[in-house]
Structure 1
Amino acid sequence: MFFIQLLAKLLAGFSQLLLARSGGTWPGELALRFNPALTKRLRTYFKEVIIILGTNGKTSTSKFIVTALAQSGRHVISNPTGANLENGLVSTVLVKLPFFPKKKQYTAVIEVDEYAFTQIASHFPPDYLIILNLFRDQLDRYGEVGNILNRWQTILKKMPQIKVIYPTSDPGLESLFIKTKIVRFSYGVPAEFLKAKPGIAGDYVYCQQCGQKLIYQGYYLGHMGAWRCRHCLFQMDSHAFRFTKTQISKLHFLPDYLIINFQAAFLLLKELFVDEAIFWQTASTWQPAFGRGEIYRGTNHQYTFYLGKNPASWSAALKNIIRQTTGDYELIFGLNNRIPDGHDISWIYDADFSSLPKNIRIAVFGDRAHDLAVRLKINGTPAQKVFTNLTQLKQYLQEHGSQIIFLANYSALLETRRLILGRMIG
């Protein structure tokens, strides 16, 4: 174990130095080729394993939980860069565990790719599973959400000892627990965040039990909201946890989607007997994770970075930008279709651009910049500039605006960070 860790730490340091903090999965990839059973062995060093699962919100929720658990005195190991496949998990553990680790001494908080969850859970079984949401994402890779849901359901049936925290506001996720005895804790969307229209098309229109159309008393985003089936009476958990108005007022500086997700963190910390004061202390000092509203202030410019990688995350981020940003600003959208992004970019037509003011200044860049420009023109908010290479974008940034906000998918956001900060992550 010592020599495996030593090589992993050296390789991780070398790859980060050479590749500007990327390449972090290399140690795990090589280690698994030599020892495919290594993940199971690494699991023995952890007293508690918490897996964060969902289409959107994993990185921010994981960061919050890690911060709070560390304050409670736990030795926490996590994957903050989002390396959420098995090779990334193994890399993280090998690099962050101390040499000669003791068994059952550490707490793991790991965000996991939706499709990879079944494999990782088999090799690195969690004690607690937090599911945040399930939306369409990279259809060319994952397929429809029903495919993912079926995979999750299959593996959960093999894990009766697990404790699950999930949003009952998502009818698909509620259906995971039909005829199951898994211990679970649910939370819902506070009434203040519900509205009359879904914003984007939902992935669940019909009841997962009887096939009849669901009815909604209010929507949050897509299929998430206050739902029920009037035919078979399948419905949300009536005892689901929600923050009170007073608690929400303490979190007024956060986007509503973070407030909803942090309810899961609240329930987990309570289950782990962490003092509630630590939750509020963590919230009061919250700093956004990579691409989740993080701000960089330069000499003459302020840059804010948002990640939007599917209809739900793009729509939610855009609404938050419009609602919270004040003063004069430039809005720059980026769209690539590389391996980390998925090749199918048709999802931009499912994203909700209706919150864009008609007079806002917009530029677009990326491999599929022209596709995005067409989408914006259809919306009635055409882009003033279209850039297909970073040299053009860099020149534009030097000449325009003191407040610049980026909303881009994964590889496009990495490019802007490297362009401005000289690094991709961290």
Structure 2
Amino acid sequence: MKVSLSVAVATGKILTALSRRLGFGAGSNFPGKVILRMRPEAPEEIASRLTGGCVLVSGTNGKTTTSNLLAGMLRASGLQPVHNKVGANLMTGITASLAQASDRRGKPRGDIGLFEVDEATLPAAIKRLTPRMVILTNLFRDQLDRYGELESLSRKIDAGLKGLSGGSCILLNADDPLVASLGGESTARKYFYGIESEDIGEIGLRHAADSKNCRSCGEKLSFSAHFFGHMGKYSCPNCGLERPAVDFAATRVELKGTAGSRLDISTPLWNLALNLGLPGLYNVQNLLAAVGGAELLGLDDHNIEAGVEGYSTAFGRGERIPIAGRTLFLVLSKNPTGFNEVIRTLGTEGRDLPIVAALNDRIADGRDVSWIWDVDFEELAPLARFIIASGTRAPDMALRMKYAGLDAARLTVEGNLKKALDKAIERSHEGETIYALTTYTATLDMRRLLTKIGVAAGYWEAN
């Protein structure tokens, strides 16, 4: 039975509070599911009352980090974003976030909606929320059993972008040939961001690259600089297609391993020198996306700088958590490109590293785990003092490590995540860092475990 908006919102708030109080989690999805059953148009009704409109951030990797960085910049400008900060990025999670940030009549307490959105959900979110801006980070193979191949997914996203009004804008990653090709038939204004630093990039693609061919003619792309995955500076030798000129550019990048990076950014209005406490070149792109989004929303350079300086790492995205005299470095590693970049970053940490690698195959991870054979674990094996394979598919991870050259003396299989963490603590030394490389639901499992033993706040409270 359909009910009033106020009743639906009140019900959602009660369910969220109960979920958190009873220790079931953030209450970030189920309340939204109930609200949508009670009043299907609730997200449209609440979002339409946001005076600053809505911004949607989507893509395979980087949604959470990009949106959290942008949220910090918005707060630095004096705006209050309504934001699904814990990463519940289906319509159920977005609906729950809108309800949680509203009063009992469904009037939002914030100024602007900022929502990370699952790639497959993006077309529906565009239709329902009529955003003023869509930011697309990248498209990689991820959950193939759910999404299908990249071409199919990109066509659906492109169709969704056609629904944007001429007054809205799209911010695209120019380094990703697939993402850069999107939005061509949309009336929305298009902007691009990308890496221009001359010191970054290598010739040729790794085998895990996903989008290697020209979107116009199908010819294999030529890369003058390759960053990671299929990211880089590219052109088509057949039809002449080229990487778009960028509006928001990282003109100099100095990577500092797990400590982060220092970079210079050029925009149409500003020249910025920023220190980012997040590891990897992929986070440089995430910062570029956030900077571009901030400027297009009318924020100034001081807001951008303050947002970066005050940034608190999103849960599982390079968090450092003290535990038993050690530090747990928790990093989400959910697909070949993301995992390879994590491994490349760990290469700057030296050797003899204590590592837990947790592989789950729940619905949110994707049932098909064959992607681990496209991860460069051959580069990780020499770095490890030991690797404890854990998660629901621990034997699969262990087998992959064995084929990567990790000898039996350094490999342990322990499916129970708590026992795996205990073993890692026992086999590491006081003051050391334990590196936990975890797929999506394994990251959630680890955070719940850390919350339960009292060394970390609930992930919905961590930012």
Please classify the TM superposition score into its range, dividing by the shorter chain length.
over 0.9
What letter is aligned with 1:52? Answer: V
Q: Which moved more, 1:147-156 or 1:172-181?
A: 172-181
What letter is aligned with 1:75? Answer: Q
Answer yes or no: is the 8 Å Cα contact 2:317–2:331 preserved in 1. yes
The 1:391/1:81 distance shift into structure 2, 3 A limit, reads closer
Which of the residues 306, 310, 319 maps onto 1:281? 306
Q: Who is 1:418 aligned against?
A: 448
The 1:179/1:417 distance shift into structure 2, 3 A limit, reads closer
Structure 2 Cα separation of the partners of residues 294 and 91 of structure 1: 25
The 1:97/1:326 distance shift into structure 2, 3 A limit, reads farther
Q: Who is 2:139 aligned against?
A: 134
Q: Secondary structure at the match of 1:196?
A: coil
The 1:234/1:416 distance shift into structure 2, 3 A limit, reads same
Which of the residues 426, 436, 440 maps onto 1:406? 436
The Cα of 1:388 is off from its aligned counterpart by 2.1
Alignment of 1:159-238 (within 5 A): 159-161=164-166, 162-191=168-197, 192-238=199-245
Q: Who is 1:387 aligned against?
A: 414
The 1:400/1:417 distance shift into structure 2, 3 A limit, reads farther
Q: Is 1:244 aligned to residue 251 of structure 2?
A: yes
Which of the residues 110, 119, 123 maps onto 2:124? 119
Q: Who is 1:291 aligned against?
A: 316
Structure 2 Cα separation of the partners of residues 226 and 18 of structure 1: 50
Answer yes or no: is the 8 Å Cα contact 2:161–2:183 preserved in 1. no
Q: Who is 1:351 aligned against?
A: 375
Alpha-carbon displacement from aligned partner over 1:338-394 (angstroms, at most 9, x marks no partner): 111110000001122243252522111112111111111222134521112245324
Alpha-carbon displacement from aligned partner over 1:223-271 (angstroms, at most 9, x marks no partner): 2111111221111113443123261663364322111221111111112
The Cα of 1:180 is off from its aligned counterpart by 4.7
Q: Secondary structure at the match of 2:92?
A: helix
The 1:199/1:126 distance shift into structure 2, 3 A limit, reads same
Aligned length: 425
Answer yes or no: is the 8 Å Cα contact 2:74–2:307 preserved in 1. no
Q: Give me the CA root mean square deviation.
A: 2.2
The 1:147/1:165 distance shift into structure 2, 3 A limit, reads same
Q: Is 1:4 aligned to residue 8 of structure 2?
A: yes
Which of the residues 43, 46, 50 maps onto 1:39? 43
Structure 2 Cα separation of the partners of residues 182 and 100 of structure 1: 33
What letter is aligned with 2:396? Answer: D
Answer yes or no: is the 8 Å Cα contact 2:89–2:118 preserved in 1. yes
Answer yes or no: is the 8 Å Cα contact 1:45–1:104 preserved in 2. no
The 1:391/1:287 distance shift into structure 2, 3 A limit, reads closer
Answer yes or no: is the 8 Å Cα contact 1:287–1:294 preserved in 2. no
Answer yes or no: is the 8 Å Cα contact 1:335–1:408 preserved in 2. yes
Answer yes or no: is the 8 Å Cα contact 1:16–1:24 preserved in 2. no
Q: Which moved more, 1:253-262 or 1:213-222?
A: 253-262
Q: Secondary structure at the match of 1:236?
A: coil
Which of the residues 19, 36, 46 maps onto 2:23? 19
Structure 2 Cα separation of the partners of residues 150 and 425 of structure 1: 34
Structure 2 Cα separation of the partners of residues 359 and 178 of structure 1: 44
Q: Which moved more, 1:309-318 or 1:47-56?
A: 309-318
Q: Is 1:313 aligned to residue 320 of structure 2?
A: no
Answer yes or no: is the 8 Å Cα contact 1:24–1:83 preserved in 2. yes
Of all paired residues, the percent bearing the same amino acid is: 29
What letter is aligned with 1:156? Answer: L
Which of the residues 346, 360, 364 maps onto 1:340? 364
Alpha-carbon displacement from aligned partner over 1:112-165 (angstroms, at most 9, x marks no partner): 000011111111121000000000100000011111100011111222323001
Structure 2 Cα separation of the partners of residues 424 and 372 of structure 1: 28
Q: Which moved more, 1:345-354 or 1:279-288?
A: 279-288
Structure 2 Cα separation of the partners of residues 93 and 269 of structure 1: 21
Answer yes or no: is the 8 Å Cα contact 2:224–2:234 preserved in 1. yes
Q: Which moved more, 1:145-154 or 1:1-10?
A: 1-10
What letter is aligned with 1:34? Answer: M
Answer yes or no: is the 8 Å Cα contact 2:381–2:401 preserved in 1. no
Structure 1 Cα separation of the partners of residues 418 and 108 of structure 2: 51
Answer yes or no: is the 8 Å Cα contact 1:226–1:236 preserved in 2. yes
Answer yes or no: is the 8 Å Cα contact 2:126–2:161 preserved in 1. no
Structure 2 Cα separation of the partners of residues 289 and 199 of structure 1: 28
The 1:377/1:397 distance shift into structure 2, 3 A limit, reads closer
The 1:357/1:116 distance shift into structure 2, 3 A limit, reads same
Structure 1 runs (4+) greater than 6 angstroms displaced:
none
Alpha-carbon displacement from aligned partner over 1:306-355 (angstroms, at most 9, x marks no partner): 111111111112222332x3686411100111111110000001122243
What letter is aligned with 1:140? Answer: D
Q: Who is 2:269 aligned against?
A: none
The 1:412/1:391 distance shift into structure 2, 3 A limit, reads same
The Cα of 1:181 is off from its aligned counterpart by 4.1
Q: Which moved more, 1:308-317 or 1:200-209?
A: 200-209
The Cα of 1:31 is off from its aligned counterpart by 1.2
Q: Who is 1:82 aligned against?
A: 87
The Cα of 1:293 is off from its aligned counterpart by 0.5
Q: Secondary structure at the match of 1:358?
A: helix
What letter is aligned with 2:11? Answer: L
